[in-house]
Amino acid sequence: MQMSDQELLQSISTMMDEKLDARFGQVDTRFERMEARFEQVDTRLDNMVTKDYLDERLYTLENDLLREIDTVQEKANSHFARVERRIDRLETTVNTIKLESDSIPILMKSFADLRDRVKVLERIS
């Protein structure tokens, strides 16, 4: 069973085609797997937080915190202003009471002096 040169060449060519097709099939499969991995990497990169995004979020957070601190500061200042007004009114009241309490003995003494003078005048008349 000898093959002719033509048949032998045809057989070798067919065998080489089959081997090459098998190899190309493996390469295509590997290429498809690599493409899938690249797509996963692209998706992960798209979903990654960037420095610009972090900077923007940090800037927003800082501004929100500063606004809240300002609000608390304004409320505290308002409260302290009310307390200061109350303290001023209390000081005024205390000073008035002190003046009145200092005046009472003087008035009492003046009244006693006047009464004594009236008694003296009543005796004379």
Is residue 10 in some structural domain? yes
Is residue 110 in some structural domain? no
Is residue 54 in some structural domain? no
Domain total of the chain? 1
Is residue 20 in some structural domain? yes
With vertex at residue 17, the alpha carbon angle to CA 16 and CA 21, rounded to the nearest 5 degrees, is: 115
Rounded to the nearest 5 percent, the helix, strand and coil shares of the chain are 95, 0, 5
pLDDT digit string, tens, across residues 54-92? 889 999 999 999 999 999 999 999 999 999 999 999 999
For residue 40, the enclosing domain spans: 1-48
pLDDT digit string, tens, across residues 94-124? 988 888 887 888 888 888 888 988 888 888 8
Is residue 26 in some structural domain? yes
Q: Is 0.75 topped by the overall pTM?
A: no
Task: Enumerate long-range contacts of 26-30, CB under 8 Å, 24 or more apart.
Answer: none
